[in-house]
Structure 1
Amino acid sequence: MNGMDRPITLFQPRQLEIGAGASGKLGDWAADAERVLVIASGPTAGYVERLSLPGALRVIDDVPPEPDLPAFEAVLEVARAHRPDLVVGLGGGSVLDVAKLVAALWDGEQDLRAVAGPNKVAGRRSRLAQVPTTAGTGSEAGIRALVTDPETKAKIAVESPHLLADIAILDPELTHSVPPAVTAATGIDAMAHCVEAFTNIRAHDLVDGYARLGIGLVGRYLARAVADGTDTEARAGMMLASYYGGICLGPVNTAAGHALAYPLGTRLGLPHGLANAIIFPHVLAFNQPVRPEKTAEVAEALGLEGRGRPTRLLDAAHGFCQRLGVEMRLSAHGAKRDALAEWAEEAHAIRRLMDNNPREMSVAQVQEIYEAAL
């Protein structure tokens, strides 16, 4: 069973607001909130005033990139002291993931490891608003959250409908200050979500529609957003592409690309978007022989030449990312050749993603991709 006849369940936020200045609508939506916790990260806390939030307000502004379990538990402790009836995630994907988990867990006895995996969260006891300030992860759209386990350096993945936002707000003005390099990497991450779902063994016609829309938006708007951060139309296009990518993650999820990217985040400390940008061309070309028609659609949407042979497609996709300003060499980010074999074993063991890939990938082939990206 595959395609349109395969049963799937699709979750989306109860309410979506999108457009320049949309963040100002949150205050009206949350007018009855009495105790509000805003989870932010560094500069994103500067947008709190735009939200016009009511009630007793507490702001956490130090969520780190790629947060680990101790960082999450520190936020959870603050939440339990504040007892919010509304949790607001204001930032990139890591912030939004932490906000989901805090909203679901602060008023209960479950800890993070106890809810790892699908459908183990008992239930959310506060409302959740998600306000992304980057266009990449699409976390605001979905029911998954990831936190790094400091002991294993692997991701603790939680999936539950109780992590779904009550409202998501896509305000492109909040992304105007995102630097070009970050805009490029997060934009490629959004595209990778769409592409990996589109070519996935679990692909579904409904999700394919969102994936095509997202890939097309990246092809039209990412270069513009990188070139001019204040291009509000381009920023809005990328936020919508990111949202579509987040929808794709729910019923289908990603595949080998993200599996290979995770060790780069946990071992090298690379931001999630950058890790995925480096890996994207390699996995796109690797999967081309078994998904030629869909890969050709991706190449056309992105304006890539060389779609006939994997080596030419790899060069074209690599050039696409490089022209956006992404440093594509792992060695430039501190990677050493003697570490690649261990990372390959680690990536290959992420079966929840690797098993979605349309072409079987061995440990040796994972290592070859890392070596090609070095």
Structure 2
Amino acid sequence: MPNDYARPLRLWQPRRFEFGAGSAAEVGHWAREQGFARIHVLTTPVIAGQIDRMGLPGSVTVFADVDPEPDSATLDRAIAAAQEADPDLVIGFGGGSVMDVAKLVTVLRGGFPLADAIGPNKVPARLNALALVPTTAGTGSEAGIRALVTNLATGAKAAVESPHLMPDMVSLDPDLTMSVPPAVTAATGIDAMAHCVEAFTNRKSHPLIDNYARLGFTLVARFLPRAVADGSDAEARAALLLAAYYGGICLGPVNTAAGHALAYPLGTRLKLPHGHANAIIFPHVLAFNAPAAPEKTAEIAAALGLGGGNRLAQDAWDWCARLGPEMRLSALGATEAMLPDWAAEAHAIRRLMDNNPRDMTVAEAETIYRSAF
């Protein structure tokens, strides 16, 4: 992989970025400054009670029915609620699923169909302002121009990509993440790390993005075990929000690779949370890619305290397992008969597989699933 500083790169960033304890209140201050009168918040029942932390002005409506792994039916309900509310500001207040649905609502509520939006640069202009407030430290969706939902027509993840999905305002408030349970903290943190690692070892890797990736996986390595052990660790919570944001920056110009391609069927078919699916796959793809990216893999291993060579996959598996997630597909409802179809499905996700530093056949994808079984 060439280390070419002159290679063109395009980054999209939020127009306003707030970070730190209590910064959720800045959303309300900003909304008041901008004169927004009709604000529509997308969230989940678990965290809907924290919306008041933003101090929103004007008329506020809430759609609190976003599923953990949202599909096109969830999106349709969210769009219908937004059409009724007719907001001048939409806020995604939640994890990656909530933020992705909020993004899509802002560009599709005028009647543009999801099927026509899939892919890069197909959606029309946004119909309202957009603010994103993550309440978990994982997807980094607040830093990216993509949004994903499961398309019920195909059973696969549908990815929409457009600069119109970049929010006007982002607030990263670690206070909102203090109550996230250990299992969710672990899964979302490993997802953030996977974003950074997959961008770092990517065929499209870039020196500028490599710096964000290093920052991200180093923060996860240092602070995720602390946050899982003690959810009230304010320093760890803040560090992980930054790590997730750095991972989100990596997704824009570089994106993920085989790890996420292999994780997607676990979400759509087994209904595993996205972060948990990535945790299961992460050790195996890290080891698979090591021969194609030896120096960068050594950096990742050093940050996580992993052994190299034949120890890499087992040590990475142990690192993830110590954080709590069940790492065996056989204990999560999978059967061996399912694995060939998943391998074919993952292999067909070329927008990610083509980024992988090492070519992966369908048979090799199935071998990874069997190793994770």
TM-score normalized by structure 2?
0.98
Matches of 1:89 and 1:141 in 2, distance apart?
A: 13
Match of 2:347 in 1: 348
Matches of 1:83 and 1:63 in 2, distance apart?
A: 18
Match of 2:176 in 1: 174
Give the 5 Å matches for 1:1-374.
Answer: 2=2, 3-31=4-32, 32-106=35-109, 108-304=110-306, 306-307=307-308, 309=309, 311-374=310-373
RMSD across aligned C-alpha pairs, in angstroms?
0.9
CA displacement at 1:56 relative to structure 2:
1.1
CA displacement at 1:54 relative to structure 2:
0.9
Matches of 2:241 and 2:305 in 1, distance apart?
A: 20
| Deviation readout 1:214-262 (Å, 9 max, x if unpaired) | 0110111100000000111100000000000000000000000000000
CA displacement at 1:4 relative to structure 2:
2.0
CA displacement at 1:264 relative to structure 2:
0.2
| Deviation readout 1:328-354 (Å, 9 max, x if unpaired) | 001111110011000000000000000
Matches of 1:151 and 1:264 in 2, distance apart?
A: 17
Matches of 1:149 and 1:125 in 2, distance apart?
A: 23
SS, match of residue 193 in structure 1? helix
CA displacement at 1:125 relative to structure 2:
1.9
Amino acid across the alignment from 1:16 = F
Alignment gaps of 5+ in structure 2: none
SS, match of residue 268 in structure 1? coil
SS, match of residue 30 in structure 1? helix
SS, match of residue 5 in structure 2? helix
CA displacement at 1:150 relative to structure 2:
1.1
Alignment gaps of 5+ in structure 1: none
| Deviation readout 1:130-159 (Å, 9 max, x if unpaired) | 000000000011000001011211111000
Identity of matched residues, %: 63
CA displacement at 1:289 relative to structure 2:
0.5
Matches of 2:14 and 2:234 in 1, distance apart?
A: 23
Matches of 1:103 and 1:149 in 2, distance apart?
A: 18
